[in-house]
Structure 1
Amino acid sequence: MHESSHRNRPRNRLADETSPYLLQHAANPVDWYPWGEEALERARRENKPILLSIGYSACHWCHVMAHESFEDPASAAVMNELFVNIKVDREERPDLDRIYQIAQQMLTQRGGGWPLTMFLSPRDQRPFFGGTYFPKEARHGLPAFTDLLQRVAQFYRERGDDIAQQSAALQQAFDQLHSPPAAGDTALTTAPIRAAREQLAAAFDQQFGGFGGAPKFPHPSNIEFLLRQWRATAGADEPDLHSLFMATLTLKRMADGGIYDQLGGGFARYSVDAYWMIPHFEKMLYDNGQLLRIYAHAALATGEPLFGRVAGATADWMIRDMQSPEGGFWSALDADSEGHEGWFYVWQPDEVATLLDADDYAVFSRRFGLDRPANFEDIAWHLHVFRPEEEIAQELHIEPAEVDRRIARARQILLEARNRRVWPGRDEKVLTSWNGLAIGGLAVAARALRRADLADAASRAVDFIRQQCWRDGRLLAAFKDGRARFAAYLDDYAFLLDGVLELLQTRWRSDDLQFATELAEALLTHFEDRESGGFFFTADDHEQLMHRSRSFSDEALPAGNAIAAQVLTRLGLLLGETRYLDAAAKTLRAAWPALQHYPHAHTALLVALEEHLEPPEIVFVRGETQEAESWRDALANVYAPRRLVFAIPADASALPAAIADKKPLDETAAYVCRGVTCSAPVRSLAALVALTRS
């Protein structure tokens, strides 16, 4: 499946690409092109339809289709004869993936996914037929891939008028995707926040946590939203304890489940069952950046040791297995190794029994279900918490602390043994947007867990992105093999800006504030929809595609518009910059119709709405570095999602006016700002804590 198995084959045009996913297909007998003018021009010249195949390196079914069809000379011959074949890495070109996923759903009335297989007209790249995975032989109600190819090519040759008509209707449907914004006199209220909370409660799984049934995804934005809802009411006569319960039960069940790597830390992308037991085994940087932040917040909010442990182990995994020596974070670990999904992670009980001594095995096997029937494909055991430690301690007549010690020892031994196995493939491209999520997660965890090494890792990632992916005031989206490529997207600017703002609260560097301001300016200049509000996914000088999308809803990633609105509100208050505040407000107005109809699909945007309606509190601590940071750490001991705290050394230079006027005094002092109103200097830590609690 991987390149090494095809060393002797001639290589196609993908051989010059940097994407690990495209390079996996460089030795296919398919005459693949990357997306670009060469392929599009050939399709027009020869009047051949385009077969567009979109996937990513850690995608299991992408590997299956590649192995069955793209590596098969007979299938490749049909593809080469009838189509111009284009292969796209969705992680490098989320703009293309977004357009053609929506088109696939419009054409088939079914959900999308990967691999995405679309057939496009060579004239305008509009799709006329599509689907996801197609098998080599007919099965599961799906036609054989080569039969489908013949039928699609015949349809293109014989039904040109029908295709033109459908194409015009599809374009019209795309043009209608953008609703008009709320009228100028419409008051923005908390109504969608309350409605979303009720909708999440209705979908909540009371037994296993999460929302809906199998397959079950973490939905980090929902958990963050619920934690914030509880915190907002914590001082009320009737605090919203059910929101706290929904968030913490979900986090607890995931931490006990097989979606969490019980040996190495970090989370897989989703669970195939409703119990979080058996995951789809790929591990993505974007999930882990978000979940790290939430587990760190939950550890602060509840004092639950499990949440702190999981946050720490997830951060350790990110730094140990996913951070490049240069500082940027790589993208993903594959689901497959040695041709089998999950093979790297699963165990046989006798294998574990030989590695551990009898006492440790007695505890470990009971805790993680090795004393039960196989739970992975009836042949192997995937670690998942089956029994509480207290129960095991009672049964074996030992102290709970001894159970803990034995499990920790066993984990270490098994992790070292697992590391000697054949590893799943690692996608070593650095994506700017996902690095933004990782930086934000590490910065939050550094404060919550009091771990300076996490702030170090986040700082190295910011420095890497700034050095390698920031050119002439613009970002590039991806870096691999010494090359930064692809004009960046909304998510790159918004997520990185959010990560840098979180890092500034963990460790003040004036250069980072300057970088944040430059990111915000580029975002406003090149992405803002000045007519309707909000931000387009692509820049104003991006390659022209059939649609310039603008989306407000969360998917596996929070909506770029939501994070842009959150971070522009915060940065606008920090710098006293009304243009940022206005752009955030216009984004909320643009999204208001969607917020009213489907509030629970927009929880990240609801956080922005909440901070627009009631601006967060900003605390500036000025003084000698060590003492200023100790004041900040005292405030960071509590979960206060609506507070930003910046410890700015007295000798910090190049500060913008709105911050410079919070002058350092002879001794450490703090300024507490709510909206545009700031307190007189607060000269003792006790007084500061009292003021922030009021």
Structure 2
Amino acid sequence: MRTALAVMALWALLGPGARPDSVARAEVPSRPAKVAPEIRWRAWGPDALRESRKARRPLLLFITTPWCHLCRVMEATTFADAGVRALVDATVIPVRLDGERRPDLNERYNLGGWPTTIYLIENGEPLLYPREEETQPGAPPGAPGKILIAKVGSTFLATGDLKALLLATAKYFRENRQGLEKLYARIETVREGEERPAGDLVAPDAAAAKAQAKKIADALYADFDPERGGFADAPLFSEKFPFPEGLEFAMARGAAGDARFGVAAEAIVRALLRGALHDRLRGGFHRYSASRDWMEPHFEKLLGVNAALLHALAQATALPEAGEEARVAAGETLDWMRATLAIPGSPLLASGQDAQTTRSEGRFVEGAYYTWTRAELDRALSAMPEGDRRIVRAAFGLSEPVEPGTQADRRPLFLAQDEADLAARLAVPPARVRAALARGRALLVRARAEGRAPEVFRTAYTDANAQAASALFAAGAALGRADADAMALAITERLWKKRWVKDRGLRHEAGQGGVPAGGLLRDHVAMLTALLDAYEATGERAHLSRAASVAAVMEKRFLDARRGIYLDVAPARPGPGVPRPLTRGRAIVDENAAAALALLRLADHTGRLEPRARAGTLLAWCDTQAASYGRFAARLGLALERIHRPPLTLAVWARPGDPARTRLLTAARAPLNRATIVRPLDPAKEAATLSKLGAQTAPETSILVCRDHRCAAPIRPGGDLRAAVRRAAASFAP
């Protein structure tokens, strides 16, 4: 929310607008008392920008999503106000945008959350306000200083706040048109001066990668919350997001011997799984918490968030203390995805589930489906003896009665105490606690099912589905679940058959949804990663060939050769409504770091030098940006770890037709994490590859665990293959 808070200060400079009202738990009347004329929203595109130019008015871009509770609050209250409607008609060109369908535009214009209300000028650039100018130390008198600028807009705006902003901005825009042109010209000059050409970038060697990875790890640990788990900014921001890439980096550092992250990863997983962000009845996770203690969820459950968390939890199953909790939660999340996000007639998964449902009093309340009063809990558990109800209430944090009708009366379930603590505190046998919790959970699931479940939004996006496929492959390996692998394979196959256009790349959704014709980098990076996962899971070279095709399209259509990075959208001919590709910002750093990770894997599998060289250039550019993003460079940290710490290779040495090959591949994936790679090798064709790994010979139909040109003894079929692989992998631990 940093940008949004910066804009709050901007309002004070623009005019006498009030601060936003507190609406974190606002209720929205299903039928507002006053029905104002509807705002005539335009669609994003050339027509809206041309209208802005002709009318000499800025655009007011309202970014929403189908599942956004506060977006509905704002539409049903703020935008329904007749005064707001009149000001909108008189001062701006209003444009409404679905941020899920256009993630490229969301990345450019979002001010820290949904809804976002932001002003744009006629060429699509954000309307900027120069807050102040700093004189540079040692600069001669009269020399231009450094301008501190802010974008004009905010996240949620109550009626009075939006009126104030509309009035103040109309005056500012009218009186400063010429000054704005000079400001944008100056910013462009500064941008060009800061760019580093690709020729100046040097791929990090092992020592440089190690040093930079440690800096990112230090920034990550500085934001670790040891009291409540997770990562948080102190002291200004109360929101807490699950941040799965940070958890994965923490686990990678812990596994590599960084003791502080061994402790931190355990604490993060326990806090995440026991807090209210985790749906304890049906699995899956809500998007984020408005409080640091994980107790105030925003209740939407999104595929992308849950896929990233499932991938992290699959790796967390290896943690010595929280591993079993992670295993249970991973299985429940997988089951929720399969049961709730399924799209009839397709293996693809829906984008998410809404937070909102209608209560009997005819009002929309966020999270009513997921929250309980003490009375509701007791009714649902009425078939249980009071002693067992007491166990369930204590476990789920609803032991203490609260005043009915207060905000605290409705609460989400969370794990207040685990089974051992409950048994000790209540002086009952552990077996009784387990039985009571199992029966209580079943009764609560049945009671919740009697209500109207939140809507599922059945649009399937390429990036989220490819991420889900990767997560399902990871869960299949960690949990030993063949159904997860089958789901993942079906998703990758459908995306390839229906979304891939030869030599042009991937569509973001079935109908493209207005995304630029060249597509989005995020779709291609996610698909490249999923195809490599499919290859390691099956050994089928068709997946590797497809991965190479995706990488070739990335190089052909997304590469900015001058900067040495991939752009977030394929460059297109400039024109109204065509976004300028991102060349700075956290999102583009994150996408290029993810691309580098995938390209390093592709290079390991194919032996080709080009993907490794491109990964080096991407990481060199990301390294120039990392200091600005602190812990949010965690994905870059994962890629740098792979540079300075070669991955553990699990080579499956078996012919493609060997009936034992599938079982060996499944076992080889048991220690799956970012620091391992599974190599399906054909003894008839790849003896040279085996030699490079450090083994001159090996019996056919075996697994070899290798690192740094040294291999453990071959593992043959028989016994507990997964356990044998884990033991061999552990022998290479630092």
Q: Secondary structure at the match of 1:582?
A: helix
Aligned residue for 1:21?
none
Equivalent of 1:521, from 541, 547, 552?
552
Structure 1's 478 and 640: CA in aligned 2 closer, same or farther, altered over 3 A? closer
8 Å CA contact 1:468, 1:479 repeated in 2 = no
Instruction: Please tell me the residue identity of whatever aligns with 1:539.
Output: A
Structure 1's 123 and 275: CA in aligned 2 closer, same or farther, altered over 3 A? closer
Superposed counterparts of 1:202-217, under 5 Å: 202-212=222-232, 214-217=238-241
8 Å CA contact 2:65, 2:98 repeated in 1 = yes
Structure 1 residue 294: deviation in Å?
1.2
Query: Could you tell which deviates more after superposition, 434-443 or 124-133?
Result: 124-133
Query: Could you tell which deviates more after superposition, 290-299 or 682-691?
Result: 682-691
8 Å CA contact 1:632, 1:647 repeated in 2 = yes
8 Å CA contact 2:57, 2:91 repeated in 1 = yes
Structure 1 residue 246: deviation in Å?
0.5
Aligned residue for 1:580?
611
Instruction: Please tell me the residue identity of whatever aligns with 2:272.
Output: M
Structure 1 residue 350: deviation in Å?
2.1
Structure 1 residue 374: deviation in Å?
4.9
Task: Give a deviation string over 1:51-76, Cα, whole Å, max 9, x none.
Answer: 21112222222222111133445533
Superposed counterparts of 1:544-563, under 5 Å: 545=578, 547-551=580-584, 553=586, 559-563=590-594
Structure 1 residue 155: deviation in Å?
3.3
Superposed counterparts of 1:311-390, under 5 Å: 311-325=330-344, 326-338=346-358, 339-356=364-381, 357-359=383-385, 360-374=388-402, 377-390=407-420
Structure 1 residue 367: deviation in Å?
0.4
Equivalent of 2:276, from 254, 258, 261?
258
Question: Does residue 432 of the first structure (1) align with residue 462 of the second (2)?
Answer: yes
Superposed counterparts of 1:138-157, under 5 Å: 138=160, 143=161, 145-157=162-174
Structure 1's 484 and 97: CA in aligned 2 closer, same or farther, altered over 3 A? closer
Aligned residue for 2:143?
none
Aligned residue for 2:292?
274
Query: Could you tell which deviates more after superposition, 193-202 or 269-278?
Result: 193-202
8 Å CA contact 2:354, 2:455 repeated in 1 = yes
Question: Does residue 160 of the first structure (1) align with residue 177 of the second (2)?
Answer: yes
Structure 1 unpaired stretches of 5+? 11-26, 102-110, 234-239
Query: Could you tell which deviates more after superposition, 464-473 or 174-183?
Result: 174-183
Question: Does residue 299 of the first structure (1) align with residue 317 of the second (2)?
Answer: yes
Counterparts of 1:118 and 1:335, CA distance in 2 = 24
Structure 1's 674 and 542: CA in aligned 2 closer, same or farther, altered over 3 A? farther
Counterparts of 1:340 and 1:135, CA distance in 2 = 19
Structure 1 residue 44: deviation in Å?
2.5
8 Å CA contact 2:87, 2:163 repeated in 1 = yes
Superposed counterparts of 1:618-633, under 5 Å: 618=649, 619-623=651-655, 624=657, 626-633=659-666
Q: Secondary structure at the match of 1:358?
A: coil
Q: Secondary structure at the match of 2:646?
A: coil
Q: Secondary structure at the match of 2:97?
A: strand
Structure 1 residue 412: deviation in Å?
2.4
Query: Could you tell which deviates more after superposition, 75-84 or 454-463?
Result: 75-84
Counterparts of 2:712 and 2:249, CA distance in 1 = 32
Structure 1 residue 679: deviation in Å?
7.5
Q: Secondary structure at the match of 1:190?
A: helix
Task: Give a deviation string over 1:265-318, Cα, whole Å, max 9, x none.
Answer: 111111112211221212221111111111111112427311100111111111
Counterparts of 2:658 and 2:43, CA distance in 1 = 51
Structure 1 residue 399: deviation in Å?
3.2
8 Å CA contact 2:202, 2:617 repeated in 1 = no
Aligned residue for 2:304?
286
Equivalent of 1:59, from 61, 68, 75?
68
Equivalent of 1:479, from 494, 509, 513?
509
Structure 1 residue 90: deviation in Å?
1.6
Query: Could you tell which deviates more after superposition, 471-480 or 200-209?
Result: 471-480
Structure 1 residue 190: deviation in Å?
0.7
Counterparts of 2:711 and 2:512, CA distance in 1 = 48
Counterparts of 1:524 and 1:627, CA distance in 2 = 37
Task: Give a deviation string over 1:458-498, Cα, whole Å, max 9, x none.
Answer: 12221222233222333445336x76652431111112211
Instruction: Please tell me the residue identity of whatever aligns with 2:215.
Output: A
Equivalent of 2:217, from 179, 197, 200?
197
Structure 1 residue 503: deviation in Å?
3.0
Query: Could you tell which deviates more after superposition, 418-427 or 493-502?
Result: 418-427
Task: Give a deviation string over 1:105-164, Cα, whole Å, max 9, x none.
Answer: xxxxxx6333222222225645246212354433xxxx3x23432443343333321222
Counterparts of 2:325 and 2:174, CA distance in 1 = 61
Structure 1's 679 and 397: CA in aligned 2 closer, same or farther, altered over 3 A? closer
Counterparts of 2:156 and 2:671, CA distance in 1 = 51
> What's the TM-score once normalised by structure 2's chain length?
0.80
Counterparts of 2:366 and 2:231, CA distance in 1 = 25
Counterparts of 1:575 and 1:489, CA distance in 2 = 25
8 Å CA contact 1:61, 1:133 repeated in 2 = no
Structure 1 residue 38: deviation in Å?
2.1
8 Å CA contact 1:367, 1:392 repeated in 2 = yes
Structure 1 residue 640: deviation in Å?
5.3
Task: Give a deviation string over 1:547-574, Cα, whole Å, max 9, x none.
Answer: 321357469xx91111100010011110
Instruction: Please tell me the residue identity of whatever aligns with 1:486.
Output: V
Counterparts of 2:452 and 2:715, CA distance in 1 = 58
Task: Give a deviation string over 1:579-637, Cα, whole Å, max 9, x none.
Answer: 11111001111122223565533111121112123332432332455422333343334
Structure 2 unpaired stretches of 5+? 1-25, 129-150, 359-363
Q: How many residues align?
A: 648
Structure 1 residue 245: deviation in Å?
0.9
8 Å CA contact 1:650, 1:664 repeated in 2 = no
Equivalent of 1:42, from 51, 54, 57?
51
8 Å CA contact 1:621, 1:645 repeated in 2 = no
Instruction: Please tell me the residue identity of whatever aligns with 1:209.
Output: G
Instruction: Please tell me the residue identity of whatever aligns with 1:594.
Output: Q
Instruction: Please tell me the residue identity of whatever aligns with 2:325.
Output: L
Structure 1's 457 and 524: CA in aligned 2 closer, same or farther, altered over 3 A? same
The alignment's C-alpha RMSD in Å is 3.7
Higher RCO, 1 or 2 (CA under 8 Å, sep at least 6)?
2
Aligned residue for 1:106?
none
8 Å CA contact 1:366, 1:386 repeated in 2 = yes
Q: Secondary structure at the match of 1:204?
A: coil
8 Å CA contact 1:332, 1:428 repeated in 2 = yes
Q: Secondary structure at the match of 2:343?
A: coil
Counterparts of 1:323 and 1:420, CA distance in 2 = 21
Question: Does residue 227 of the first structure (1) align with residue 248 of the second (2)?
Answer: no
Structure 1 residue 664: deviation in Å?
13
Instruction: Please tell me the residue identity of whatever aligns with 1:49.
Output: P
Task: Give a deviation string over 1:28-55, Cα, whole Å, max 9, x none.
Answer: 8211121112222222333332221112
Q: Secondary structure at the match of 1:119?
A: strand
Question: Does residue 449 of the first structure (1) align with residue 484 of the second (2)?
Answer: no
Counterparts of 2:603 and 2:501, CA distance in 1 = 24
Aligned residue for 1:459?
489
**Over 6 Å off, 4+ runs:** 648-652, 661-666, 677-681
Structure 1's 290 and 176: CA in aligned 2 closer, same or farther, altered over 3 A? farther
Equivalent of 2:678, from 633, 642, 645?
645
Instruction: Please tell me the residue identity of whatever aligns with 2:281.
Output: L
8 Å CA contact 1:349, 1:370 repeated in 2 = yes
> What's the TM-score once normalised by structure 1's chain length?
0.84
Aligned residue for 2:632?
601
Aligned residue for 1:634?
667
